[in-house]
Amino acid sequence: MKTLLRHNYIDFANAIGAKRYIVSDGQNIDLIHLLKSNPLINGILNVGPYFLLLGDVKTWQTLYVSEGCEKISGYTVDEAIAMGPQLMVAFTHPEDYPVAMETNRQAVVMLYESNPVDRPFLSCVFYHRGVHKSGQVMNIMQHIVPVAFDLQGNPYIFAIVITDITHLQIPRLPKTVLIDHKRNEYKLINPGAPFFNGERFHLSKRETEVLHLLADGFTTKEIAERLGVSFHTVATYRKRLLQKASVKNTTELVNFALVHALL
């Protein structure tokens, strides 16, 4: 039986990195006004049941959770607020969590490297599997929008719209997209080495060569001739690739490689 990966919200903090936020003394935040006045929030079209939360990464507190949270996550509003950022840790499928951390880190770097005047127009969409409190697995879309900024233009309060998109039957692979609404540009964030079953998917240089040649339609004998190695050696590499991808044949292996951006 596979052991579930264990994580906590410190991973989120590490992904965002150390930041020093400068805000006005005694500044009062009108949460409802933040939501109603934000053009990106108002422009989000939900394609399934959803709930919304507001999180402060300066204090790591959950400021607000809307109705719908219990239906989708299994946690009541009071439980979700008390859990703080640990809610998203518990709700994110453990195998998708490492991808979330790496792509979140990259998205934050891109956000803070952007021009401060452009930051209100940037958002991030993360597609992943969620786990209901009961253990039921579903497909989830998280749309993360910065809604409050400090005096230096650094976002510190984020709205997260969490939508159940299971009915859309999207492949369960986690993906993250950074959206520039000002320029209407979309950037797929690659976590680097692909992840599979919650772990990075590593291939040796020779395994990568064999994979590409298999994808090009070459037989084991032809690959051996091209690489100047024995038939048995190529057959061994192919067997390793099938085992790593947990697939049964070359066709499934090529499909796996295409889906996981290995080709």
End-to-end CA distance of the chain: 31
pLDDT value of position 172? 54
pLDDT value of position 81? 95
**Whole-number Cα distances in Å, 149 to 18, 35, 159:** 16, 13, 12
Q: What is the CA radius of gyration of the chain?
A: 22
Compute the distance between CA of residue 53 and CA of residue 31 in angstroms, rounded to an integer.
Answer: 11
Computed from CA positions of residues 230, 236, 242, 244, in that sequence, does the dihedral angle turn out positive or negative?
A: negative
- Alpha helix positions (H), 97-230: 97-113, 205-215, 220-227
pLDDT value of position 91? 95
Domains of the chain by start residue, with CATH: 10-195 (3.30.450.20), 203-259 (1.10.10.10)
pTM of the predicted model over 0.75: no
| Angle, CA of 243, 97 and 173, to the nearest 5° | 55
Q: Residue 250 has which token pair?
A: 């070359």
Low pLDDT (below 50) residues in the chain: 1-5
Residue 11, H or E segment: helix 10-16
Residue 234 CA to its chain's centroid (Å)? 35
CB atoms within 10 A of CB 214: 22
pLDDT value of position 19? 65
Helix, coil or strand: residue 139 = strand
Give yes or no for a contact between 177 and 198, defined as CB atoms under 8 angstroms apart.
Answer: no
pLDDT value of position 191? 67
CB atoms within 10 A of CB 170: 12
Query: Considering only CA atoms, which of 191, 185, 241 is closest in space to residue 215?
Result: 241
pLDDT value of position 5? 43
pLDDT value of position 202? 79
pLDDT value of position 1? 31
